């Protein structure tokens, strides 16, 4: 009778029990402890799954981990490059040089590509790879070889590029199986001039190719020229017109200030272009044995102007057009060679700009095609 805490059913003559809050509090406490633990456990489990998948991917694609960035292009793993070239088999080899080797391959997508594999044992070629990646990262032009992606780690470095089925301009000039007519040569050199104009004035930072020559000009299925191999290219910072280098470019094509002082500028590319323009229409390399002592490519061309052009023109062109037609073509070749000489002035200031070169070649082309159309009528 005196137990005030006693409660229960009123019919037992005891007070009705109040609602029990202790059980509810205990449930809340348990939930407060368990819910965070469950959430943290789920987060840790998801993180472990992601890390495991990444480790598996790195094992499968070991060279993809440190790939050089060439923009938003999807990187191609090493194993796919190996499959595309039959394990970099010699039967897929299409070119070899001091930098390494170039292989033709077919990706799993069916795309045919050229895979430039860098010789990582040489420090110079490794730097060349980095320079080419830096130069090509933001460049987009129809007359530049498109670099699709790169693949790089300590043991393997490569560039995956669009394949050029017609090979190099060098092959077309010096092979006995081919002969380019005047308009083909003019179009190719106009393509190269357009690429250089873009590099010098069209990109966000001026780019100096530094190694322009026929073997670095590749031709697609339509004989459109694409400038390639930016292994020693230099990027001029904002406001910078020249820089210096100790890297030796190809002899015969190098501007005087490059060879003597290592000065690099866009006008150095103009000089190299002028030499190549002479070479394309004479089929004579600037390092030919005939150029010795006082005679150089420039002086040989200069001495032929304006009445002895026939003596320097590629004999294949003469045979192609015959004695009658070649006389019609010669004035246009003379205009091209005069333009080449203006590119190769010893003084940097006297050299023509690539924008003017494009304009001059376009004018020569229009005059030639108009003449041919008149003749056909």
Q: Which two tokens stand for residue 241?
A: 């017109």
First to last CA, the chain: 134
Q: Is the peptide bond before 313 cis (omega within 30 degrees of 0)?
A: no
The yes-or-no answer on residue 346 being catalytic is no
Question: Which is catalytic among the residues 211, 229, 269, 314?
Answer: 211
Q: Residue ranges for the binding site?
A: 116
Please tell me the distance from the alpha carbon of residue 249 to that of residue 226, in angstroms, as a whole number: 19
| CA distances, 261 to each of 235, 244, 257, 352 (Å) | 18, 8, 6, 21
Q: Which two tokens stand for residue 165?
A: 């089925």
The candidate with the shortest Cα–Cα distance to 75, out of 143, 195, 156, 144, is 156
Q: Residue ranges for the binding site for ATP?
A: 116
DSSP letters for 224-270 = -EEE---TT-EEPPTT--EEE------TTTS-HHHHHH-EEEHHHHH
- Residues 219 and 188 sit within 8 Å (Cβ to Cβ): yes
Query: What value, to the nearest 5°, has the Cα angle with vertex 24 and ends 18 and 30?
Result: 160
Please tell me the distance from the alpha carbon of residue 118 to that of residue 81, in angstroms, as a whole number: 14
Residues marked as catalytic: 211
């Amino acid at each position: 009778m005196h137990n005030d805490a006693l409660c229960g059913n009123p019919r037992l003559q005891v007070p009705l029990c109040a609602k029990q809050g202790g059980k509810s509090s205990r449930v809340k406490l348990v939930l407060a402890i368990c819910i965070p633990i469950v959430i943290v456990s789920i987060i840790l489990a998801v993180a472990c799954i992601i890390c495991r998948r990444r480790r598996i991917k790195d094992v499968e694609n070991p060279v993809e981990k440190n790939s050089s960035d060439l923009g938003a292009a999807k990187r191609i793993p090493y194993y796919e490059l190996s499959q595309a070239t039959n394990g970099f088999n010699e039967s897929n080899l299409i070119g070899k040089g001091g930098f390494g080797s170039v292989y033709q391959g077919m990706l799993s997508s069916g795309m045919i590509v050229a895979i430039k594999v860098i010789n990582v044992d040489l420090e110079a070629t490794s730097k060349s790879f980095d320079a080419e990646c830096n130069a090509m990262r933001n460049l987009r032009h129809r007359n530049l070889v498109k670099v699709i992606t790169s693949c790089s780690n300590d043991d393997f470095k490569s560039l995956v590029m669009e394949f050029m089925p017609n090979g190099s301009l060098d092959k077309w000039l010096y092979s006995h199986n081919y002969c380019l007519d005047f308009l083909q040569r003019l179009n190719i050199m106009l393509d190269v001039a357009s690429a250089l104009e873009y590099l010098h004035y069209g990109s966000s930072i001026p780019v100096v190719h530094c190694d322009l020559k026929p073997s670095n000009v590749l031709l697609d299925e339509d004989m459109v020229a694409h400038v390639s191999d930016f292994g020693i290219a230099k990027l001029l910072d904002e406001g910078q017109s020249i820089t210096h280098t100790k890297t030796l470019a190809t002899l015969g094509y190098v501007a005087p200030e490059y060879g003597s002082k290592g000065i690099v500028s866009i006008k150095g590319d103009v000089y190299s272009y002028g030499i190549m323009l002479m070479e394309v229409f004479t089929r004579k390399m600037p390092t030919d044995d005939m150029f010795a002592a006082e005679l150089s490519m420039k002086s040989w061309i200069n001495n032929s102007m304006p009445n002895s052009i026939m003596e320097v023109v590629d004999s294949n062109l003469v045979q192609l057009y015959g004695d009658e037609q070649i006389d019609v073509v010669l004035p246009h070749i003379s205009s091209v060679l005069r333009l080449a000489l203006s590119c190769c002035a010893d003084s940097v200031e006297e050299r023509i700009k690539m924008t003017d070169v494009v304009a001059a070649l376009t004018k020569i082309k229009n005059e030639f095609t108009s003449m041919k159309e008149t003749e056909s009528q």
